[in-house]
Amino acid sequence: MAQSAPPPPPPTADAVGAPPSVEEIQKAAQEQQIDPYNVSGARDENGNVKALDYEALRQRFNTPALTEEHLKRFEQVTGKPPHRLMRRKMFFSHRDFDKILDHYEKYGFFLLYTGRGPSSGSMHLGHSVPFMFTKELQDIFDVPLVIMLTDDEKFLYTRNKNNGKLTKGAALGDFIKYALENAKDIIALGFDVKKTFMYSDYEYMGGHFYQNVSEFESLLTNNQIRGALGFNESTNVGLNAYAAKQCVAAFASSYPTIFGCGDWRAPDYAEMRPRKQIAAIPTLIPCAIDQEPYFRLVRENCGRMEMPSPKAALVLSKFLTALQGPGGKMSASDPTSAIFMSDTPSQIKNKINKYAFSGGGATKEEHEQYGGNPDVDVAYTYLTYFLDDDEELAQIEANYRKGTLSTGELKKRCIEELQKFVGAFQERRAKVTDEVLRQFMTPRKLEFKGNPNAKFSMEDLAGKGETKAKDGEKTGPQGGRETSKSERKQAKIEAKKAEKLAEKLALREKQGQDQTQPPAQQLGSEA
Ligand code: TYM
């Protein structure tokens, strides 16, 4: 019944028992840090890690909460109940989710985009969360999906971490291999090949995608990237430049082929630049909130592109917590913090029993008398992600709080559910051949139907790269749907706002303010 993970050691004082100095207290008490490369809880004055404070984070990033209203609207537009991860607010925040629903209702489809940085050959349970959710969105909305495998990012990041030194398992070719292994893992989570294009950056980057990269690179300054992503002057050039790649991956115009249009490769000069009509297709990105800083950069600068894209919409999740408790996230670099998708049933059992932080009482008697705390209990938390039955979950929570369900019993239920999830995954994974992988990774026209009740049909993009209006609707110069006056006005306003923001940021840089301001204040408030 005792808690299985000790808290991190307090900072040392010179003499045993001596009170810590003011400097020591200040040093130990740290704010939480969350960006694409760091996720750590705040520390109190004794150096103890605190749980991640998602409400504070949401306010700092200035991303709205996902509310019951959104869930109702989701159900109204799709006719389907929201996934448990949304019902239970693991996906807790968003940007423009309502706009994407409005768009889907009217125009029938949008682009789904998510990704994975292949840092090792096997993904952990936490990585499966956004993909599980994205699969459900793909099934429900029946829209195209692109999955980016950032082998370049992870290579550059690892080299950066190792001060440029080549270390074992971290050569460029290793990350290409990891990307392919991870791609098979992702496929095994159940994506529909007809609607999914998955690519590794090293393989796909070129043509319209790379043109978008170059243009976006020309809009971003080093200081903007540093502010958003926590880089500094010692960060290697490649990692700075990588940012534009993850950003423009959110533009539909980076993938003309999936909409049945040509992507420029010599000698096909027909389409030199990404197409305006494709650029206008909006994108929804499901991910954990660590990736939000990238998409803040997208939203601030997309209106400045020669062929502007709408601001990317986001649905943002919390992190599946580390086995050790709610102050950090599951991380592939710490095997004791994570359950891997390749773990055997007995490994899962041992890890939960040995490492999963318990919110139970210190002794059996205490637990029965005072009850347990499911809010910090890792086994319970994992059940909230993987157990679909709302009633059973509510029962488990109530019994645990009362103390009638013991930590051992709770862990047992959690182990069963995780073994079931991982076991089913491994069965599907064994069937993902190289041939299947190649199908997913071949650029091709995707087949999707979108919203059957939408006013407009966009499936006629094939070959022409144009949207096509249904009977009675006005069409644009090349047969595509003509944007309305108010949409054009809105686009102009957005472009003006983006310009103004860019000017403001440039001015701040000149004044040397960027280095002293925390990233969220610098950027989040205006995205
Ligand atoms: P990566 O590989 O760090 O993470 C892949 C996805 O998993 C999310 N994630 C988690 N979700 C829940 N619990 C956790 N413990 C946890 N750890 C990671 C991440 O937020 C992400 O959604 N740079 C990216 C790759 C990328 C990408 C994207 C991700 C490129 N384009 C678009 C999301 C959307 C990366 O390294 O992800």
Q: Tell me the two tokens of residue 60.
A: 């700092």
Q: Of 199, 187, 195, 203, which Cα lies nearest the Cα of 147?
A: 199
Q: Cβ(150) to ligand 1 under 6 A? A: yes
Long-range contacts of 499-506 (CB under 8 A, 24+ apart): 499/303, 499/304, 501/300, 501/526, 502/219, 502/300, 502/301, 502/304, 505/221, 505/223, 505/224, 506/221
Residue 22 CB coordination number (10 Å): 8
CA distance linking residue 281 with residue 385, whole number of Å:
31
Q: Are 452 and 463 in contact (CB under 8 A)?
A: no
- Residue in 47, 472, 45, 38 with CA at minimum distance from that of residue 291: 38
Name the residue at shortest CA distance from atom 9 of ligand 1: 127
Tell me the pLDDT of the chain (527 aa) as tens digits.
334 444 433 333 333 445 555 555 455 567 898 899 988 888 888 888 888 999 999 999 999 999 999 999 999 999 999 999 999 999 999 999 999 999 999 989 999 999 999 999 989 999 999 999 999 999 999 999 999 999 999 999 999 999 999 999 999 999 999 999 999 999 999 999 999 999 999 999 999 999 999 999 999 999 999 999 999 999 999 999 999 999 999 999 999 999 988 887 777 666 678 888 899 999 999 999 999 999 999 999 999 999 999 999 999 999 999 999 877 788 887 888 899 999 999 999 999 999 999 999 999 999 999 999 999 999 999 999 999 999 999 999 999 999 999 999 999 999 999 999 999 999 999 999 999 999 999 999 999 999 998 876 654 433 333 344 344 444 332 233 344 566 556 656 665 666 666 566 556 655 654 443 434 333 344 46
Residue 43's DSSP bridge partners are 30, 49
pTM of the model: 0.86
Answer yes or no: is the C-beta of 320 below 6 A from any ligand 1 atom.
yes
Helices and strands (DSSP H and E) totals, the chain: 22, 10
135, 185, 291, best to mutate for ligand 1 pocket (most atoms within 8 Å of CB): 291
Say if CB 432 and CB 27 are below 8 A apart. no
Q: What is the pLDDT of residues 485-506, one digit of tens each?
A: 665 566 566 656 666 665 665 5
The Cα–Cα gap between 110 and 102 comes to 11
- Give nearest CA residue, ligand 1 atom 18: 127
User: Quick one: which atom of ligand 1 is closest to the CA of 330?
Assistant: 15
Q: Which amino acid is at 376?
A: V
